[in-house]
Amino acid sequence: MHTLITEPEDSMKASAAWALGQVGRHTSDHAKALTDAGALPKLLMINLHEFASDDPQQKSKDALIAIISKCTYLPALEPLLNESPPEILECILGQYAKVLPSDVKLRKQFMVCGGLKFIQELDAEPGTTIKEVVDIINTYYPQEVIRYFTPAYFDELLQKVEEYTP
């Protein structure tokens, strides 16, 4: 992973990203080991950076998707939510959709850490994969919880306060 940050050669960064993706695609334990080592933020940084060639970006994107697709340790994905491009975000949310229904503790953590609020604030177009996955995740929570985290809810409360007469 050191190569991802320090190596000046694009081809070496691409090769390092590819190798990490190969390791991470095997099992959730392999993916967890890479997340524990801090691979995901580094790969995302490479993916978002402009290079002379597209190879490092493509290899880092492929590695991110491979690792995230095997990652069942959802707290490792939380820091990526805000900065990920749509294709990576789809993969991250897909993992949440797979793991959240079977783990109440993780559902609570996703809500408390701001993940649930984040996905309510996404401006996902109807019919897109992101919108479909958000809708699936929303089914794992009571409707009043989803409503609480929607952007318009605070405005509704303000309107009620304005209309309220003690």
Domains and CATH numbers, the chain: 1-71 (1.25.10.10), 76-165 (no CATH)
Percent of the chain with pLDDT over 70: 99
Query: Does the predicted model carry a pTM greater than 0.75?
Result: yes
Q: Which pLDDT score, from 0 to 100, does residue 155 have?
A: 85
Count the Cβ atoms, other than its own, within 10 Å of residue 26: 12
Burial of 162 (C-beta count, 10 Å sphere; 0-12/13-18/19+): exposed
Are 77 and 31 contacting, i.e. CB atoms less than 8 angstroms apart? Answer: no
Work out the end-to-end distance of the chain between its first and last CA atoms, rounded to an integer number of angstroms. 61
Token duo for residue 163: 């209309």
pLDDT in tens, the chain (166 residues): 777 788 888 899 999 999 999 999 999 999 999 999 999 999 999 999 877 678 999 999 999 999 999 999 999 999 999 999 999 999 999 999 999 999 999 999 999 999 999 999 998 899 999 999 999 999 999 999 999 999 888 888 888 899 888 8
Helix (H) or strand (E) holding 46: helix 39-48
